[in-house]
């Protein structure tokens, strides 16, 4: 809550740089949900002010009718542009120009390519960027186009641990895949090595669930997708993160009989976390089953990449993907804000959805404590959203349609106090129902 100590230094001689006035501010970390103004100075939060409290300021930005929240954090980005081929998007496209101040790249860089990720993504981009380092030496090259590069021989536990521990300012965990195509080829060995990497580095392991690769044409393809979770969970530790709980593909949280696997509750009791990597895996049908069973995700990511957004493909990259059933070339547009809209349409409260892209991410993903909250002294990372009421036609890639009554659209964001308009070409246009 704002108090006198926060505003005593804002004087005529030393005013705020910017005050956002008239908005509805939600900051779950501080229990704020109401009409508060926000003062910013020197790239930091200076004060959270009641609407009748005036302070000197160089500029005032009228945000009446808009939602003001801590800078949104996308837990599932793919922004290793160029190095990962068609897969990697330009970071600021899905970052500050989509109203998102912080991105966590999921498995783009590996121990071999992390120096390039730091030099060409982390350093120059306006968005704040962290990485969950790939457990595989190849990283996220071309969106995992070549399954043979992700076999057990293509991991190096020692090298990956060494790389992570030498780069803890940007590496906050690891990424691996527990999915049917890989289990049909190599069993659980890749997951055993990935879990060992995470244990030795004492960092979270983020695990993709739901089929990604097609089944092999030769060899043992007789793996039951409904056994994958049960094979993986015992390998994990508290704090590891299960991704894609609402996937429409085999091997996710919902079995072939349409029920949530019992081991999901055991995993939560162990201290494992759940992240909605939205992307082209997302299914309203599966989400309804999981939510009705009491499985509430902790965090939310967009999972946009070059194979599921309307971004032109770089010359010479694949025209199609071997996993054509599961990849959607240029058919969809979405963003972290539209993923939040999907959560609202499924019945989650607004405060909880905001929590899933702010303070919960800091807790679950091990980010610096000064992010995810509008506490005086913290970096002035702020997202400003339109919150519209009406009837909106929302669709997933299964063709399931849901009618939402609230729509979130990014207006602009501040990153360290610098303003960026939400003008990214990939932002969706949602049709009224």
Q: What is the pLDDT of residues 79-117, one digit of tens each?
A: 999 999 988 999 999 999 999 999 999 999 999 999 999
- pLDDT reading at 2 higher than 50: no
pLDDT of residue 144: 81
Helix/strand/coil for 85: strand
* pLDDT 10s digits, 35-59: 999 999 999 999 999 999 989 999 9
Is residue 228, in this structure, part of any structural domain at all?
A: yes
Domain boundary among 333, 365, 397: 365
pTM surpassing 0.85? yes
Most distant CA pair in the chain: distance in Å? Answer: 75
Percent of the chain whose predicted confidence (pLDDT) is above 70:
94
Count up the domains in the chain and report the number: 2
Per the CB < 8 A criterion, the answer to whether 417 and 42 are in contact is: yes
Q: Which residues contact 416 (CB under 8 A, 6 or more apart)?
A: 43, 379, 380, 381
Are 41 and 78 in the same domain?
Answer: no
The alpha carbons of the chain give a radius of gyration, in whole angstroms, of 21
Token pair recorded at residue 221: 């393809």
In a shared domain, residues 358 and 405: no
Residue 303: inside a domain: yes
Among 365, 394, 409, which residue terminates a domain?
A: 365
Read off the pLDDT of each residue in 243-252 and give the average, rounded to a whole number.
94
Q: Are 27 and 125 in a shared domain?
A: no
Question: Residue 124 — φ and ψ, nearest 5°?
Answer: -85, -20
Mark which of 365, 392, 407 sits at the end of a domain.
365
Q: What is the pLDDT of residue 146?
A: 86
Instruction: Say whether both 207 and 160 belong to one domain.
Output: yes
Q: What's the half-sphere exposure (Cβ side, CA atoms, 13 Å) at 410?
A: 34
Burial class (CB in 10 A: 0-12, 13-18, 19+), 211: buried
DSSP state of 336: H
The CATH number assigned to the domain holding 403 equals: 2.30.40.10
Q: Is residue 359 part of a domain?
A: yes
Strand order of the β-sheet with 24-27 is 32-34, 24-27, 66-70, 382-395, 401-415, 418-421
> Strand pairing partners for 57?
16
Q: Is residue 204 part of a domain?
A: yes
Average pLDDT value for residue range 14-30: 97
pLDDT at 308: 78
Structural domain includes residue 200: yes
Report the distance separating Cα 406 and Cα 296, nearest Å: 20
User: What is the sign of the dihedral through the CA atoms of 40, 43, 44 and 46?
Assistant: negative
**Same domain as 79, residue 55:** no
Same domain as 333, residue 413: no
pLDDT digits (tens, 9 = 90+) for 353-393: 999 999 999 999 999 999 999 999 999 999 999 999 999 99
Question: What pLDDT score was predicted for residue 330?
Answer: 41
Please tell me whether residues 284 and 189 are part of one structural domain.
yes
Query: Confidence band (pLDDT; 50, 70, 90) for 350?
Result: very high
**Mean per-residue pLDDT for 58-72?**
97
Q: State the pLDDT at residue 321.
A: 62
Sign of the alpha-carbon torsion through 105, 142, 320, 281: negative
* 297 and 338 fall within a common domain: yes
Domain for residue 374, yes or no?
no
> Do the domain assignments include residue 376?
no
Is 271 in the same domain as 338?
yes
DSSP line for 274-302: EEEE-GGGB-HHHHHHHHHTT---SEEE-
Q: Residue 332's pLDDT is what?
A: 54
Do 349 and 234 lie in one domain? The reply is yes
CA–CA dist 425, 357 (Å, integer): 22
Give the pLDDT mean for 392-399.
86
Decide the pairing of beta strands 24-27 and 32-34: antiparallel
What is the C-alpha separation between 3 and 253, in angstroms, rounded? 45
From CA 131, how far away is CA 109, in angstroms rounded? 8
What rounded mean pLDDT belongs to the chain? 92
Alpha helices of 126-258 — where are they, by DSSP H? 157-165, 180-186, 189-201, 228-232
pLDDT tier at 413 (50, 70, 90 boundaries)? very high
Residues 113 and 22 in one domain: no
Task: Name which of 161-165, 184-188, 277-281, 301-305 the model is least confident about.
Answer: 277-281
Q: Residue 427: inside a domain, yes or no?
A: no
Domain coverage including residue 22: 4-65+384-421
Say yes or no: 158 and 267 in one domain.
yes
pLDDT category at 5 given cuts 50, 70, 90 is very low
Q: Can you tell me which residue has the tokens 């998007």?
A: 89
**Coil vs helix vs strand at 142:** helix
**Helix, strand or coil for residue 182?**
helix
pLDDT at residue number 12: 75
- 209's CB contacts (< 8 A; 6+ apart) are 178, 179, 228, 229, 242, 243, 244, 245, 247, 251, 252, 253
Low-confidence winner among 154-168, 282-296, 347-361, 397-411 (lowest mean pLDDT) = 397-411
Task: Give residue 326's pLDDT.
Answer: 46
**What CATH number should be reported for the domain holding residue 224?**
3.20.20.140
CA distance 109 to 79: 10
């Amino acid at each position: 809550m704002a108090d006198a100590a926060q505003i005593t230094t804002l004087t005529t001689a030393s005013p705020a740089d910017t005050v956002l006035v008239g908005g509805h501010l939600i900051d779950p970390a501080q229990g704020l949900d109401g009409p508060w103004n926000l003062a910013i100075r020197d790239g930091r939060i200076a004060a959270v002010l009641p609407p009748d409290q005036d302070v000197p300021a160089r500029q005032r930005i009228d945000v009446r009718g808009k939602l003001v929240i801590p800078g949104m954090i996308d837990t599932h980005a793919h922004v290793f542009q160029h190095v990962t081929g068609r897969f990697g998007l330009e970071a600021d496209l899905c970052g500050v120009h989509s109203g998102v101040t912080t991105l966590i790249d999921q498995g783009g860089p590996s121990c071999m390519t992390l120096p390039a990720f730091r030099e060409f993504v982390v350093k120059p981009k306006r968005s704040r960027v962290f990485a969950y380092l790939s457990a595989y030496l190849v990283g996220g090259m071309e969106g995992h186009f070549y399954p043979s590069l992700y076999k057990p021989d293509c991991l190096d536990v020692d090298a990956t641990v060494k790389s992570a521990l030498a780069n803890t300012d940007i590496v906050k965990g690891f990424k691996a895949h527990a999915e049917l195509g890989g289990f049909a080829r190599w069993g659980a060995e890749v997951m055993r090595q990935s879990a060992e990497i995470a244990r030795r580095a004492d960092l979270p392991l983020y695990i993709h669930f739901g089929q990604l690769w097609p089944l092999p044409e030769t060899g043992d393809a007789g793996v039951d997708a409904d056994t994958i979770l049960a094979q993986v969970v015992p390998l994990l530790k508290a704090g590891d993160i299960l991704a894609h709980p609402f996937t429409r593909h085999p091997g996710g949280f919902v079995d072939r009989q349409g029920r949530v696997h019992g081991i999901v509750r055991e995993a939560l009791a162990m201290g494992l976390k759940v992240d909605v990597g939205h992307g082209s895996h997302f299914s309203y049908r599966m989400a309804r089953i999981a939510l009705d069973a009491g499985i509430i995700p902790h965090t939310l990511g967009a999972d946009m990449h070059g194979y599921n957004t309307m971004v032109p493909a770089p010359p010479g990259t694949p025209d199609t993907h071997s996993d054509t059933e599961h990849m959607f070339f240029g058919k969809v547009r979405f963003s972290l804000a539209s993923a939040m809209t999907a959560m609202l349409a499924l019945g989650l409260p607004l405060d909880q959805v905001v929590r899933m892209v702010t303070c919960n991410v800091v807790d679950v993903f091990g980010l610096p404590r000064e992010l995810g909250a509008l506490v005086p002294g913290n970096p002035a990372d702020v997202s400003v959203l339109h919150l519209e009421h009406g009837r909106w036609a929302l669709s997933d890639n299964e063709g399931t349609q849901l009618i939402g009554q609230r729509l979130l659209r990014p207006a602009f964001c501040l990153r360290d106090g610098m303003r960026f308009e939400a003008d990214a070409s990939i932002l969706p246009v949602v049709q009224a129902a």
